């Protein structure tokens, strides 16, 4: 937000402003509610409908196909939900329409005494909903005032639809005398109390006859091979089995309809008595919406949230001091975070309930019949655990009340699944539904697809074990079923009237909707433990526990083996060392999930993204560990180097490649690797020297093979011991530093046989290029002195800043191991989309990514790591990077990155820098550079392009994770193969630029195998003549290995030379060039592309 936070009161005022903006105009929907009620009160009596006439009723399992309902006008039409409690929250930027809920009470005369069995009530409920639609159509509401009327599942339950009316805006209801409204009207059929005996709906009863039949026959019809494996492994799925299991979900689905009026009355009384309940509920709805937890299948809905707040308020959890929305919501979150609010039975009227009902303790008591209904029974326990964890993080963020906390908790678009979870498993549950035997459908408490989703989630919990901190079933979207007038039905109605019959029965065929069917890919979100998710061995029970060992072997199959460990214990274990060698340790969790799911759900295709972007982030390359090992070996030798005027105190890696944040690290150069033989021979290891010589000759492929002369320079800072004898005069200081560099190079040569070359970077800074184990390290000497030393040069301050930054980033990476991988993906994405790396440099990308690790939770990176809120995978960190870049207010606010040192005064300095910045420019500030790093200075058009691309790619990444089986959740088709879909994220275009220059791939110092930009640009290189000419022109950059090896690496290799970067910077300095974009990591074609315009 644009406002400056002067204190805690400013936070509360900003939250109140957000809530005011999100509050709809309730008066606009009241005429529509009255019109709907009048139409239903005037509905004809005695209308008989059959399931054959209503597609959704006919599609229900059990006895639904034979259902007949003699419909009567509703017993009551009552306002319920958020409009009744005045707790609607719909931010204007969301594009959503608020909902006004009407409960249409089905008279008890419409159902029979035993209609609670085998989906009979559900069928009659569907028939009555058609009766409601007919009454609205007869009143002209569907034809005149409504843009769309459709069925949607109530709280994700396909068997219990609701009818939604979307009124036409812009005077559409004028013909009916209805004003415009932003609301949608949802009509929810409920049942009159007393229609069924309360004891028949108890959670312990079995109300599906297929289960009782299985009990009577002593068989397990409908049990698949996967079910058998699951039961041997200790997972007992809800399905037909011996014993006729109770049907608590099915029973609750009926009971909540019967007793909804009672719970609604208690909620209305509670909210009317205490205004703080409404304030807390509205703030919590805004928070849940921002966190992506509100609504949808298997989620906590607004009605359940209101019931929970009322129970806490009546129970005394809200203190009198909680007068504002923020204070009231914070107290509710604190109660939930303490895990007392959701772990102990609690009555809606306050106090502790005497009868616990599992993990969902919020109850409503019907004083007339003495029936207790669990309002949270439909909410899964994994949803409640997520609510508890998010509440704990929100309490911690609210304690600071910073602008970041306000944006992360209340303002902005809902968080996507790819941001909320470390991994997202996508499963095509349609296959499970199609393979479910017909005899099983009528025994399931939910539809076949929902049952498969829950089975997959339970199997995933068993597979990941302690690797997962939380597993959350997100479920599949259910397409809405639109009502439409049928021309044939209209003719049938006219024919019936011509014969003298009544028109009421014929009206049932006038407006119809297809059956609701759960389709598409279901998603399961996983929050991994950053310390355990990459462990190599899953240790099972000891050998002595035969029953537990049998369950473990049933779970893992051939992966399970009996092993003896170092402490002498003999246990069952599942080892993943082969996966770690072949794909990397980050792939172990996904492979464990696939192993179990393939055994327990063999008919369900599963997608678990873990290694899809390895080729992009270089995480599967051996170059990174080889480079780090070479640096560690060189650092040890430098610290122990004798004969220097001042000893080496420390060796700091300041290059991005040395902190694991470089996406394209090239392996050991065959010519530079010649230093190995010299070192081994000097140390007396002649056999190893000969072996390395053979290795070099094989790596080069022969003396005539062309070898690239360009090498990356990995910057290293060598801190020497303090001394008061460093001169202050610049020329003398440069000479002294140069002499030390020469002495350092000589000692490396004499003591270890290491080849080096002293260079001058043109700024009076001597450096030493060291060729060690195939890599080139550029050593810069840094003397230790107080920061306030008036004689310290600008170069000294820059080296000190680089040292502090490298140390702070390394500490952040230790707390969040996925940080370097996420940075590599972010840098590769920026390069692929041709953003100038000079305007968004290494440190700028790293700081923004670090901020993204905690920004989603309203914390800095360090606090987020302490609370376990940082991503455990690089893919999740990259998703948060895209979300932060695309959603942050770069124009109005600086991005403050905490946790990089002493943060006192940094925020104020960043705000001053932002105020002094001209135009729209990004300011990224940290303790290392309080005024904002100069390595992140995108502005204007490029900044707008960055934000738009980040939002688009974030949406596509979420679609790839949650809808990986052929379609996005919005219905858009995903092109190409699975690999091509992922690489589309990194396929840029030159469309925003005025011209493009195609470079030969051999000119790209970090050329990769992936085309990073528009493939059409590569057509210019297909001409053989042009290609030959380009190759001849680039001959100085590639020479035979034998020629280079004869001269030695110091004379033949070009360290830190990047011709494409030089060209791009020269173009950027040309008159009339506004900005230049280029891909520093190369590809099939590389394009420095200037856009002309005023600077």
Residue 516 has pLDDT above 60, yes or no: yes
Residue 32 has pLDDT above 80, yes or no: yes
Identify which has the larger pLDDT, 965 or 619.
619
**Region 940-955 average pLDDT:** 89
pLDDT for 964 equals 53
Domain-terminating residue out of 313, 345, 375: 375
The answer to whether 131 and 104 have CB atoms below 8 angstroms apart is no
Most confident of 70-74, 524-528, 581-585, 687-691: 70-74
324 and 274 assigned to the same domain? yes
Q: How many domains does the chain have?
A: 5
Q: Is 202 a domain residue?
A: yes
Identify which has the larger pLDDT, 586 or 932.
586
**Region 562-570 average pLDDT:** 89
Identify which has the larger pLDDT, 266 or 27.
27
Residue 160 has pLDDT above 60, yes or no: yes
**Region 140-165 average pLDDT:** 87
User: Which DSSP state fits 740?
Assistant: H
350 and 273 assigned to the same domain? yes
Distances (CA, A) of 919 to 922, 932, 1069: 10, 15, 21
**Region 634-649 average pLDDT:** 89
> CATH number of the domain that 887 lies in?
1.10.1410
Residue 635 has pLDDT above 50, yes or no: yes
- SS3 of 49, please? strand
Residue 242 has pLDDT above 50, yes or no: no
Q: Is 644 a domain residue?
A: yes
895 and 925 assigned to the same domain? yes
* Angle, helix 260-273 to helix 275-290, in steps of 10 degrees: 110
The answer to whether 604 and 431 have CB atoms below 8 angstroms apart is yes
111 and 172 assigned to the same domain? yes
pLDDT for 185 equals 93
pLDDT for 777 equals 94
Local confidence band at 1046 (pLDDT 50, 70, 90 cut-offs): low
The answer to whether 43 and 139 have CB atoms below 8 angstroms apart is no
pLDDT for 832 equals 86
253 and 286 assigned to the same domain? no
> CATH number of the domain that 716 lies in?
3.30.460.10
pLDDT for 274 equals 87
Which of 945, 905, 938 lies closest to 924, judged by CA?
Answer: 938
pLDDT for 695 equals 46
Q: Is 685 a domain residue?
A: no
pLDDT for 247 equals 84
The answer to whether 1094 and 1074 have CB atoms below 8 angstroms apart is yes
For 41-97, the pLDDT digits (tens) are: 999 999 999 988 888 888 888 777 788 999 999 999 999 989 999 999 988 877 888
Residue 167 has pLDDT above 60, yes or no: yes
Domain-terminating residue out of 954, 986, 1018: 986
The answer to whether 985 and 957 have CB atoms below 8 angstroms apart is yes
Residue 740 has pLDDT above 50, yes or no: yes
837 and 955 assigned to the same domain? yes
**Region 673-683 average pLDDT:** 45
What percentage of the chain carries pLDDT values higher than 70?
74
| Cα dihedral 811, 814, 816, 822 sign | positive
pLDDT for 1045 equals 62
Identify which has the larger pLDDT, 380 or 1035.
380
* Angle, helix 302-314 to helix 260-273, in steps of 10 degrees: 50
Q: Which domain holds residue 1025?
A: 1001-1092
Let me know the angle formed at the C-alpha of 899 by 896 and 900, rounded to the nearest 5 degrees. 85
**Region 1042-1066 average pLDDT:** 75
Residue 538 has pLDDT above 60, yes or no: yes
How far apart are the C-alpha atoms of 960 and 936, rounded to whole Å? 29
336 and 366 assigned to the same domain? yes
254 and 269 assigned to the same domain? no
Q: Burial level of 978, CB count in 10 A (0-12/13-18/19+)?
A: middle
Residue 142 has pLDDT above 60, yes or no: yes
**Region 469-493 average pLDDT:** 68
355 and 494 assigned to the same domain? no
Residue 976 has pLDDT above 50, yes or no: yes
**Region 709-722 average pLDDT:** 87
pLDDT for 790 equals 64
| Cα dihedral 298, 234, 389, 590 sign | negative
Residue 704 has pLDDT above 70, yes or no: no
Residue 220 has pLDDT above 50, yes or no: no
63 and 108 assigned to the same domain? yes
Report the range of poorest mean pLDDT among 127-141, 609-623, 916-930. Answer: 609-623
> Model's pTM, two decimal places?
0.85
Report the range of poorest mean pLDDT among 67-76, 180-189, 197-206. Answer: 197-206
**Both ends of the chain: CA-CA distance in Å?**
29
Q: Which residues pair with 711 in a beta bridge?
A: 1055
696 Cβ contact list (under 8 Å, min separation 6): 670, 673, 674, 676, 677
Residue 314 has pLDDT above 60, yes or no: yes
Q: Which two structure tokens, joined as six digits, stand for 935?
A: 């390595």
Report the range of poorest mean pLDDT among 419-423, 639-643, 787-791. Answer: 787-791
Q: Is 391 a domain residue?
A: no
Residue 1002 has pLDDT above 50, yes or no: yes
718 and 832 assigned to the same domain? no
Q: Which residues pair with 563 in a beta bridge?
A: 571
Report the range of poorest mean pLDDT among 196-205, 676-685, 911-920. Answer: 676-685
Q: Burial level of 891, CB count in 10 A (0-12/13-18/19+)?
A: middle
Q: Is 536 a domain residue?
A: no
Domain-terminating residue out of 932, 955, 986: 986
Which of 674, 95, 634, 789 lies closest to 413, judged by CA?
Answer: 95
pLDDT for 672 equals 80
Q: Is 99 a domain residue?
A: yes
Nearest 10 degrees: CA dihedral of 1054, 1059, 1061, 1064? 160
State the chain's mean pLDDT as an integer.
77
**Region 412-420 average pLDDT:** 86
Q: Is 6 a domain residue?
A: no
Q: Is 324 a domain residue?
A: yes
979 and 865 assigned to the same domain? yes
**Region 835-859 average pLDDT:** 82
Which of 478, 482, 474 lies closest to 519, judged by CA?
Answer: 478
**Region 436-445 average pLDDT:** 67
Identify which has the larger pLDDT, 387 or 229.
387
Cα 1079 from chain centre: 27
């Amino acid at each position: 937000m644009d406002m400056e936070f002067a204190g805690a009161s400013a936070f509360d005022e900003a939250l109140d402003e957000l809530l005011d903006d999100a509050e709809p105009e309730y008066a606009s929907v009241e005429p529509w509610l009255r019109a709907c009620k009048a139409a239903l009160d005037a509905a004809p009596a005695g209308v008989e409908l059959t399931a054959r006439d209503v597609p959704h009723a006919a599609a229900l399992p059990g006895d639904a196909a034979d259902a007949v309902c003699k419909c009567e006008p509703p017993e009551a039409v009552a306002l319920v939900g958020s409009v009744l409690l005045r707790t609607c929250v719909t931010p204007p930027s969301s594009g959503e329409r608020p909902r006004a809920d009407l409960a249409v009470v089905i008279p008890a005369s419409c159902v029979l005494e035993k209609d609670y069995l085998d989906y009979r009530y559900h069928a009659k409920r569907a028939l009555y909903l058609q009766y409601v639609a007919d009454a609205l159509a007869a009143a002209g509401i569907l034809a005149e005032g409504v843009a769309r009327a459709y069925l949607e599942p109530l709280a994700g339950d396909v068997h219990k639809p609701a009818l939604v009316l979307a009124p036409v805006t812009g005077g559409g209801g004028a013909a009916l005398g209805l004003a415009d409204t932003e609301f949608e009207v949802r009509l929810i059929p409920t049942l009159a109390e007393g229609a069924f005996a309360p004891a028949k709906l108890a959670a312990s009863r079995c109300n599906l006859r297929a289960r009782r039949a299985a009990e009577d026959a002593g068989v397990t019809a409908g049990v698949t091979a996967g079910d058998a494996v699951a039961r041997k492994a200790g997972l007992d799925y809800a399905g037909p089995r011996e014993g006729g299991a109770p049907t608590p979900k099915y029973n609750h689905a009926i009971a909540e309809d019967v007793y909804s009026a009672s719970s609604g009355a208690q909620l209305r009384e509670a909210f009317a008595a205490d205004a703080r309940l409404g304030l807390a509920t509205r703030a919590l709805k805004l928070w849940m919406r921002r966190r992506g937890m509100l609504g949808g299948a298997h989620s906590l809905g607004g009605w359940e949230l209101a019931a929970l707040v009322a129970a806490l308020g009546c129970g005394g959890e809200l203190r009198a001091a909680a007068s504002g929305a923020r204070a009231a919501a914070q107290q509710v979150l604190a109660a939930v975070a303490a895990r007392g609010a959701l772990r102990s039975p609690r009555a809606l009227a306050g106090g502790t309930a005497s009868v616990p009902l599992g993990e969902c303790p919020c109850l409503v008591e019907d004083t007339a019949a003495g029936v207790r209904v669990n309002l949270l029974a439909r909410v899964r326990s994994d949803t409640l655990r997520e609510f508890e964890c998010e509440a704990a993080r929100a309490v911690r963020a609210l304690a600071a009340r910073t602008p970041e906390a306000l944006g992360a908790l209340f303002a902005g678009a809902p968080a996507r699944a790819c941001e909320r979870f470390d991994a997202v498993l996508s499963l095509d549950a349609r296959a499970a539904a199609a393979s479910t035997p017909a005899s099983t459908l009528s025994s399931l408490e939910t539809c076949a697809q929902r049952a498969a989703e829950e089975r997959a989630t339970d199997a995933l919990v068993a597979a990941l074990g302690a690797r997962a901190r939380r597993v959350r079933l997100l479920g599949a979207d259910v397409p809405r079923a639109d009502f439409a007038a049928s021309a044939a039905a209209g003719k049938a109605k006219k024919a019936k009237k011509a014969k003298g019959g009544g028109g009421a029965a014929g009206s049932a065929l006038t407006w119809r909707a297809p059956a609701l069917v759960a389709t598409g890919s279901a998603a399961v979100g996983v929050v991994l433990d950053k310390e355990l998710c990459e462990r190599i061995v899953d240790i099972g029970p000891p050998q002595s526990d035969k029953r537990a060992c049998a369950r473990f072997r049933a779970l893992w199959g051939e992966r399970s083996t009996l092993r003896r460990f170092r402490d002498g214990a003999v246990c069952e274990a599942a080892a993943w060392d082969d996966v770690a060698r072949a794909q990397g340790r980050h792939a172990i969790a996904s492979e464990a999930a696939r192993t179990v799911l393939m055994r327990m759900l063999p008919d369900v295709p599963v997608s678990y993204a873990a290694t899809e972007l390895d080729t992009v982030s270089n995480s599967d390359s051996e170059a990174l560990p080889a480079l780090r090992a070479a640096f560690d070996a060189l650092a040890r030798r430098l610290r122990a180097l004798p004969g220097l005027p001042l000893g080496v105190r420390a060796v700091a890696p300041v290059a991005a490649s040395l902190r694991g944040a470089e996406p394209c690290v090239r392996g050991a150069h065959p010519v530079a690797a010649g230093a190995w033989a010299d070192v081994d021979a000097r140390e007396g290891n002649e056999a190893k020297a000969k072996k390395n010589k053979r290795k070099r000759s094989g790596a080069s492929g022969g003396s005539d093979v062309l070898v690239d002369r360009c090498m990356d320079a990995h910057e290293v800072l060598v801190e020497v011991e303090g001394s008061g004898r460093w001169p202050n005069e610049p020329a003398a200081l440069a000479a002294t530093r140069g002499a030390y560099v020469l002495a350092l190079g000589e000692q490396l040569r004499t003591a270890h046989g290491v080849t080096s070359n002293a260079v001058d970077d043109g700024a009076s800074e001597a450096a030493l290029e060291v060729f060690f184990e195939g890599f080139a390290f550029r050593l810069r000497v840094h003397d230790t002195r107080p920061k306030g030393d008036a004689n310290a040069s600008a170069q000294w301050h820059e080296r000190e800043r680089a040292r502090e930054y490298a140390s702070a980033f390394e500490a952040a990476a230790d707390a969040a191991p996925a940080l370097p991988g996420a940075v590599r993906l972010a840098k590769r994405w920026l390069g692929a989309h041709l953003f100038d790396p000079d305007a968004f440099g290494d440190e700028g990308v790293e700081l923004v990514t670090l901020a993204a690790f905690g920004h989603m939770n309203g914390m800095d990176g360090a606090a987020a790591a302490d609370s376990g809120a940082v991503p455990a995978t690089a893919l999740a960190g990259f998703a948060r990077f895209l979300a932060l870049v695309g959603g942050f207010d770069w124009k109005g606010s600086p991005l403050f990155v905490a946790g990089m040192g002493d943060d006192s005064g940094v925020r104020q300095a960043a705000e001053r820098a932002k105020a002094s910045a001209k135009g729209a420019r990004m300011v990224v500030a940290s303790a290392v550079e309080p005024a904002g790093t100069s390595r992140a200075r995108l502005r204007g058009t490029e900044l707008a392009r960055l934000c738009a691309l980040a939002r688009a790619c974030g949406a596509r990444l979420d679609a790839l994770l949650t809808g990986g089986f052929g379609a996005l959740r919005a219905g858009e088709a995903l092109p190409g193969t699975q690999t091509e879909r992922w690489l589309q994220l990194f396929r840029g275009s030159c469309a925003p630029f005025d011209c493009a220059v195609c470079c030969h791939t051999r000119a790209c110092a970090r050329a990769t195998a992936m085309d990073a930009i528009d493939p059409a640009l590569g057509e210019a290189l297909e001409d053989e003549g042009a290609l030959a000419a380009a190759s001849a022109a680039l001959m100085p950059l590639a020479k035979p290995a034998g020629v280079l090896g004869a001269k030695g690496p110091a004379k033949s290799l070009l360290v830190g030379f990047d011709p494409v970067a030089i060209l791009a910077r020269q173009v950027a300095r040309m008159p009339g060039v506004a900005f230049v974009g280029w891909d520093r990591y190369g590809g099939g074609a590389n394009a420095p592309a200037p856009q002309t315009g005023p600077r």
